[in-house]
Structure 1
Amino acid sequence: MEDKHMLMIPGPTPVPEKALLAMGKHPIGHRSGEFSEIMGKVTAGLKWLHQTQNDVLVLTASGTGAMEAGIINFLSPGDRVLVGCNGKFSERWAEVCQAYNLNVEKITAEWGKPLDPEAFQKRLSSDTNKEIKAVIVTHSETSTGVLNDLETINRYVKQHGQALIMVDAVTSLGCVNVPVDEWGLDVVASGSQKGYMIPPGLGFVSVSDRAWEAYKQAQCPRFYLDLGPYSKSAAKNSNPFTPPVNLIYALQVTLNMMQAEGLENIFARHQRLSAAARAGVEAMGLPLFAPSDCTSPATTAVAPATVEAEQIRSLVKKRFDIALAGGQNQLKGKIFRIGHLGFISDRDILATLSAIESALLALGHDSFQPGAGVAAAAKVLP
């Protein structure tokens, strides 16, 4: 049926109708008093979501652009940085650092496994000359469905005393607790097409006072992604360049929705949906890719053994017009991923599991009782 497409991937995520309608309004001048008033409200909402009094700067960019800005504004060529690598996106940040001639040291874990905080502690504690300038961590590694232990890693960074903590929170902001001020996170990057519940196009960077001190000495080349002008403009509820006005309209709507739901309820909803998805998948006899004690509330990665992952994705899309995400890089064809991030409800999880069950039966994977997946998920949901 036309116009019944359903996104169950970890980004882009579904957009509420109110936000879509807001985007349909006529744009206004981005230097007007009316737009400045909107930006003031949006900035206040972003600080609420980040649980911070720091700058939260809005870029016309994807999450990758926000993360690149977060790296290059506070470091100089030759600076020594630790980058945690256990998936596609965390490895990307090492590549960004190398592109700007930073001295990159990787702390790695097998894809599908969490980073070991003790490996960071060992490397940081041995840095008696305080040469490490930053530690870069992906909180929610979307490519594998793993949630890294940011809180513990950050605690070791704080014990070091000099290094900045830089966080890819692209699929954790608006999904799981990221208390920026309480933890003292220096740079936190995220993107609009995830927990913010609007289309791609906006990137966000939270910047601490410690990071701004480092900015004064940083020598990496930058122009459009130079966060200094963004900070000066943000203080005036403006932007140094032309922003996507209609995306800002949508963002105002979804931030209001999130504030009405409340942070604790948002986090609890994502945990509940994740638990339901995992219970349903296991009841169908499908192995999970990430361990239960480090799973991301944003996505569930599944590693089917008796049926090809791409066959499942293809049949679910063809029969039900539900999009599931595939594996990336070396995991291509080996896993599929169910996104439950942002504007996702209990109904969406049950519908998706039902579609997967139907596809499995059609593909000859019949070693489970029909309806078992939906029944197991329903027991998790209230």
Structure 2
Amino acid sequence: MEDKQMLMIPGPTPVPERVLLAMAKHPIGHRSPEFSNLIAECNELLQWLHQTQSDVLTLTVSGTGAMEAGIINFLSRGDRVLVGCNGKFGERWAQVSEAFGLQVEKITAEWGKPLDTEEFKAKLEADTEKEIKAVILTHSETSTGVLNDLQTINSYVKNHGEALIIVDAVTSLGAFDLPIDEWGLDVVASGSQKGYMIPPGLGFVAVSQKAWSAYETATLPKFYLDLGKYKKANAKNSTPFTPPVNLMFGLQAALRMMKAEGLSNIFARHQRMTQATRAGVKALGLSLFAPDEAASTAVTAVVPAAVEAEKIRSVMKKQFDIEMAGGQDHLKGKIFRIGHLGFVSDRDVVTVLSALSATLTELGADNIHSSAGIEAAAKVFASA
């Protein structure tokens, strides 16, 4: 059936009808008073969502663009940085850092395992000359469904005193309690097509005062991604370059929805869906790629034993119009990933588990009890 597709991937995520209708408005001038008022409201709500009083800057980029901006604005060529790598996106930030001539030291973990916080502690404590200028890591590693222990790693960065912490929160911002000011995070990047519930095209960078001090001496080349330009424009409720006006309409509508739901309810909903999805998958006899204690609230990675991952994804899409994500790089064909991020509800989790059960049965998987996944999820919902 046309126009019936259900997105259960970690991005783009489903978009609420209210947001779609807002984006369907006729564009207005991006230098008009009306648009300035919209920016002012969005800026206030973005600070609320990020739990910060510092700048939250809006860029016309993807999450990768937001992270690149977060790296190049506060560092200089030759700076020593630690980069956490336990998935595709951690590896990407190492590549970006190397491309700009930074001295990169990787702290790695097997894909599917969280980063070892004590490795960061050891490196930072050994740096008595304070040569490490930044620690760069992915909070929610989308490629594997692992949530890294950002709070602990950040505490070691704070003890170091000199280094900044630069965080990819692309799939954790809006899905996990991330109190930026309370934790003292310096640079936090995110993207619109995740927890924000709008289409791709906007990136967000929250910046601390400590990071702005580093900006004054940073020498990496930048122009369009020069966050100083965005800071000046932000103070005037404006933008340095032409923004995607209709995406901004959508952002306003989505942030209003999030404010009405409330931060604690948003985080509780994502936690509930994560637990229900994982319980349902286990009940269907499938293995999970990430351990329970490091489970991302954005996406669950599943390891099917007897049935090929890509066959499961194919049947789910063709038969039930449900799209799930596949594995990336060396995990391609070995896992599939169920997104439960943004505009996703308990009903969506029940739907995907029911369809997954039918798919496994169709593909000849043994010992599949059609209601087991739903029953396991229902127990989670009942106890939440």
For normalisation by structure 1, the TM-score amounts to: 1.00
> Residue 295 of structure 1 corresponds to which residue in structure 2?
295
Matched residues in 2 for 1:281 and 1:334: separation?
A: 16
> Residue 91 of structure 1 corresponds to which residue in structure 2?
91
SS in 2 for 1:39: helix
Matched residues in 2 for 1:194 and 1:381: separation?
A: 23
Matched residues in 2 for 1:152 and 1:89: separation?
A: 20
After TM superposition, give the deviation of residue 2 of structure 1 in Å.
1.1
After TM superposition, give the deviation of residue 371 of structure 1 in Å.
1.1
SS in 2 for 1:324: strand
Matches within 5 A, 1:231-380: 231-380=231-380
After TM superposition, give the deviation of residue 366 of structure 1 in Å.
2.5
SS in 2 for 1:199: coil
After TM superposition, give the deviation of residue 268 of structure 1 in Å.
0.4
CA deviation vs aligned residue, 1:182-203 (integer Å, no higher than 9, x gap): 0000000000000000000000
Matched residues in 1 for 2:137 and 2:185: separation?
A: 11
Poorly superposed stretches of 4+, deviation over 6 Å: none
Matched residues in 1 for 2:350 and 2:215: separation?
A: 47
Kindly indicate whether residue 144 of structure 2 is the aligned counterpart of residue 153 of structure 1: no
Matched residues in 2 for 1:91 and 1:182: separation?
A: 28
The AA in structure 2 aligned to 1:3 is D
SS in 2 for 1:381: helix
**Contact 2:137 2:166 survives alignment (8 Å):** yes
SS in 2 for 1:46: helix
Matched residues in 2 for 1:41 and 1:337: separation?
A: 35
Kindly indicate whether residue 108 of structure 2 is the aligned counterpart of residue 137 of structure 1: no
Matched residues in 1 for 2:177 and 2:55: separation?
A: 18
Kindly indicate whether residue 124 of structure 2 is the aligned counterpart of residue 124 of structure 1: yes
CA deviation vs aligned residue, 1:173-218 (integer Å, no higher than 9, x gap): 0000110000000000000000000000000000001001100110
CA deviation vs aligned residue, 1:273-313 (integer Å, no higher than 9, x gap): 00000010000000000000000010000001100000000
The AA in structure 2 aligned to 1:26 is H
The AA in structure 2 aligned to 1:221 is P
CA deviation vs aligned residue, 1:78-126 (integer Å, no higher than 9, x gap): 0000000000001100000000000000000000000011000000000
Percent identity over paired residues: 71
> Residue 21 of structure 1 corresponds to which residue in structure 2?
21
Matches within 5 A, 1:97-246: 97-246=97-246
SS in 2 for 1:188: strand
Matched residues in 2 for 1:90 and 1:265: separation?
A: 29
The AA in structure 1 aligned to 2:232 is K
**Contact 2:360 2:368 survives alignment (8 Å):** no
Matched residues in 1 for 2:186 and 2:288: separation?
A: 33
> Residue 65 of structure 1 corresponds to which residue in structure 2?
65
**Contact 2:165 2:186 survives alignment (8 Å):** yes
Matched residues in 1 for 2:156 and 2:293: separation?
A: 21
SS in 1 for 2:120: helix
CA deviation vs aligned residue, 1:141-174 (integer Å, no higher than 9, x gap): 0000000000000000000000000000000000
SS in 2 for 1:158: helix
Q: Structure 2, unaligned stretches of length 5 or more?
A: none
The AA in structure 2 aligned to 1:247 is L
> Residue 38 of structure 1 corresponds to which residue in structure 2?
38
CA deviation vs aligned residue, 1:335-372 (integer Å, no higher than 9, x gap): 00000000000110000011111110001113132211
Matched residues in 2 for 1:156 and 1:2: separation?
A: 51
The AA in structure 2 aligned to 1:113 is K
> Residue 49 of structure 1 corresponds to which residue in structure 2?
49
SS in 1 for 2:288: coil
**Aligned-pair RMSD on alpha carbons?**
0.5
After TM superposition, give the deviation of residue 4 of structure 1 in Å.
0.4
**Contact 2:10 2:338 survives alignment (8 Å):** yes
The AA in structure 2 aligned to 1:273 is M
The AA in structure 1 aligned to 2:325 is A
Matched residues in 2 for 1:175 and 1:193: separation?
A: 13
After TM superposition, give the deviation of residue 381 of structure 1 in Å.
1.1
Matched residues in 1 for 2:330 and 2:259: separation?
A: 39
Instruction: Identify which range, 82-91 or 370-379, moves more after superposition.
Output: 370-379
Matched residues in 1 for 2:223 and 2:330: separation?
A: 35
The AA in structure 2 aligned to 1:298 is A
Matched residues in 2 for 1:346 and 1:51: separation?
A: 26
The AA in structure 1 aligned to 2:210 is R
Matched residues in 2 for 1:333 and 1:209: separation?
A: 44
Matched residues in 2 for 1:71 and 1:287: separation?
A: 36
SS in 2 for 1:217: coil
